[in-house]
Amino acid sequence: MAAMSSTGTSSWFDLSGKVAVVTGGSRGLGREMALAFAQHGADVVIASRKLDACEAVAEEVRAKGRRAVAVAYHAASWADADRLADTAYATMGRVDVLVNNAGMSPLYPSVDAISEELYDKVMGVNLKGPFRLSALIGTRMVADGGGSIIMVSSIASHRPTAVEVVYGTAKAGINNLTKGLANTFGPTVRVNCIAPGPFLTDIAKAWDMDQFDRQAKAKFALERGGKPHEIVGAALYFASDASSYTTGAVLDVDGGPR
């Protein structure tokens, strides 16, 4: 992406003519980012496990006047990463922004009860998939002259709770991968990372909200969980020329833990 001028700040977040791929894009933070990119001019490839859910978001993107493609994608599958990359380039012609947002953090009764299958699944979705997809698309971005890769990590990557041991380990790998790929793909492709805290997406429906609200008031400077749309500012910053001199960065968007 070209460096921006010191004037004309209204165009800093303009994504007109760009193509974005968003994994985990059918719901939650991924959906918010996909729709925000479309609102700012980008065409979007929405990838997630359930094709019908991806297609529903694709229709929302099309309603904004942008092109959209829905792709069924399992982030732990090496072959699916290859297929997603090939589909994105075959249908859109190029990729300017990649968001590795797909993730999972299943509960477990105790650390010694974590099965090999669960361990491999969590590592596969949260770390293996982003590595393979970034390797494929980042290499093509370099050949095309530039782009932006956005990893989605978690505050669990550096402050894991007792029920996030494997997830936090995988996300710590994402932080490291961000810095490694920033060096690999620089200077034309930037690689940055968003580390969200607790966001009130559909996953929060399973939470005891009274207990969460009490804890949030004590543990976070902003005394609340994040609203899904509050991820958009960070995503647009990293996706656009507004962050033209930023790479290898990990940005916590977490309400300010005390």
Catalytic residues: 167
b/e code 39-61 from CB counts within 10 Å (16+ = b): bbbbbbbbbbbebebbbebbebb
Distance, CA of 132 to CA of 196 (rounded, Å) = 22
Q: Are 35 and 61 in contact (CB under 8 A)?
A: yes
Q: Are 155 and 196 in contact (CB under 8 A)?
A: yes
Distance, CA of 115 to CA of 140 (rounded, Å) = 37
Element (H, E) at 180: helix 165-185
Element (H, E) at 135: helix 129-144
DSSP letter for 225, please.
P
Neighbouring CB atoms inside 10 A of 82's CB total 13
Tokens of 162: 């007792």
